[in-house]
Amino acid sequence: MGNRRSDDHTGRGDADREARPPAPHRGAVPRGLRDLEWALPQTFLGLDEEAGAFDTARAVILPVPYEATTSYGGGTRAGPAAIIDASRYIELYDREFGAEVGPAIGVHTLPPLELTRAGPAAAMAELKEAHDRVLAAAGDRFVLMLGGEHAVSAPAIRSHATHRGERVSVLQFDAHADLRAEYEGSPHSHASAMARVLDLADVVGVGLRGVSAEEVEVARAHDGVHLIWADDMWESDAWMDEAMERLGGDVYITFDVDYFDPSLVPSTGTPEPGGGDWYRTLRFLRRVFEERNVIGADVVELAPTPGLRAPDFLVAKLAYKLLAYRFHALFG
Ligand SMILES: [Mn+2]
């Protein structure tokens, strides 16, 4: 694939986006119409049918636009679509690896998964079943789930644990511990996502800065929970070693984007000050992928702000980086 995005980053408005050059492949378009200027497909990275074919893809994107228990700012239902839309404007060329990693990996984008509105318990049971089937169908492919509120992570983690028949090690990027037994009357709240997996998973949380007394107690009482506070990450990078020591061999990454400082990602339900920055976070992520077997991941809690593109773009690029790091071995 050529440098098809070179004209996409001039800071022009929406109206001018229509003027982009067509992508080289237009598999879904009738042969006689392929030279017309079609917009990139609404797939992760805008990959066409060839680069996004399930059969040859090494990675699968699972959008889950679920939002039911949001307690403050809402809008995470629109998260997956905003991430996918923004991802179409990311340069495919990744300078860190010197390659267009997306087409080289092959990334298949599933349609958004709709869950029942019959309440959080039913929706989470439905997601667990659906995720089981996605994992079975995916085989060796790496599944990256896009939320939605953080509640969706619990069924996905439970699905990975039952799929493997053993406990998993969860690396949680988050401002919050999400260890409440229940919240606002629901044990399936976004604020209880990690409490719902402790029987099947150990959790290392990084970037934490907004927790309740109850959650501090839960963390203290569980050997399998280790929390790293955002203010301890500020002065040095010693926290990276601390987190690595606590992680098992097979790691699931759940990435709540409120981990980031709200100056970078204000578009989230509960934007806590004092969060992570871009490059240190990438450096740590690369190390995790190089030193551990990452079995799956999710990116959750983006609540897009109309007209504010930077947070959507950052989160899309984060998702792309997760895939690049997962398949770093392909790029020497
Ligand atoms: Mn959070």
Count of CA atoms in the C-beta half-sphere (13 A) of 255: 24
Q: 211 alpha carbon to ligand 1 midpoint, in Å?
A: 10
Strand partners of residue 205: 172, 227
Q: 331 alpha carbon to ligand 1 midpoint, in Å?
A: 33
Over residues 72-128, the pLDDT tens digits come to: 778 999 999 999 999 999 999 999 999 999 999 999 999 999 999 999 999 999 999
Q: Which residues surround ligand 1, an ion (CB under 5 A)?
A: 174-176, 256, 258
| Statement: residue 299 has pLDDT above 90 | yes
Q: What is the DSSP-derived secondary structure letter of residue 181? A: S
Over residues 143-200, the pLDDT tens digits come to: 999 999 999 999 999 999 999 999 999 999 999 999 998 888 888 888 899 999 999 9
Cβ(104)–Cβ(330) below 8 Å: yes
Answer with the residue of higher pLDDT: 26 or 248: 248
Q: 106 alpha carbon to ligand 1 midpoint, in Å?
A: 30
CATH topology assigned to domain 52-331? Arginase; Chain A (3.40.800)
Amino acid letter for position 322: L
Cβ(82)–Cβ(311) below 8 Å: no
Residue 280 in 3-state DSSP? helix
| Statement: residue 29 has pLDDT above 90 | no
Exposed/middle/buried for residue 38 (C-beta within 10 Å: 0-12, 13-18, 19+): middle
CA–CA distance, 267 with 253 (Å, rounded to integer): 21
Backbone Cα Rg of the chain: 19
Split at pLDDT 50, 70, 90, the class of 14 is very low
**What percent of the chain has a predicted confidence (pLDDT) above 70?**
91
Q: 125 alpha carbon to ligand 1 midpoint, in Å?
A: 22
CA–CA distance, 307 with 135 (Å, rounded to integer): 35
Q: 39 alpha carbon to ligand 1 midpoint, in Å?
A: 34
How many other C-beta atoms are found inside a 10 Å radius of the C-beta of residue 2? 10
Exposed/middle/buried for residue 19 (C-beta within 10 Å: 0-12, 13-18, 19+): exposed
The pLDDT assigned to 267 comes to 97
Cis peptide upstream of residue 210 (ω within 30 degrees of 0):
no
- The two tokens of residue 129 are 């079943």
Q: 312 alpha carbon to ligand 1 midpoint, in Å?
A: 17
Cβ(161)–Cβ(201) below 8 Å: yes
Split at pLDDT 50, 70, 90, the class of 26 is low
Q: 328 alpha carbon to ligand 1 midpoint, in Å?
A: 28
- The two tokens of residue 162 are 């039952």
Q: 268 alpha carbon to ligand 1 midpoint, in Å?
A: 9
CA–CA distance, 314 with 267 (Å, rounded to integer): 11
Residue 42 in 3-state DSSP? coil
Split at pLDDT 50, 70, 90, the class of 27 is low
Q: 127 alpha carbon to ligand 1 midpoint, in Å?
A: 20
Q: 146 alpha carbon to ligand 1 midpoint, in Å?
A: 15
The pLDDT assigned to 1 comes to 39
Exposed/middle/buried for residue 214 (C-beta within 10 Å: 0-12, 13-18, 19+): middle
Cβ(311)–Cβ(304) below 8 Å: yes
Distances (CA, A) of 147 to 10, 33, 86: 29, 35, 15
CA–CA distance, 127 with 107 (Å, rounded to integer): 22
Residue 169 in 3-state DSSP? strand
| Statement: residue 44 has pLDDT above 50 | yes
The pLDDT assigned to 22 comes to 44
Cβ(296)–Cβ(304) below 8 Å: no
| Statement: residue 262 has pLDDT above 90 | yes
Over residues 227-249, the pLDDT tens digits come to: 999 999 999 999 999 999 999 99
Q: 178 alpha carbon to ligand 1 midpoint, in Å?
A: 7
Cβ(289)–Cβ(326) below 8 Å: yes
Average pLDDT, the chain: 91
Q: 289 alpha carbon to ligand 1 midpoint, in Å?
A: 22
CA–CA distance, 260 with 264 (Å, rounded to integer): 7
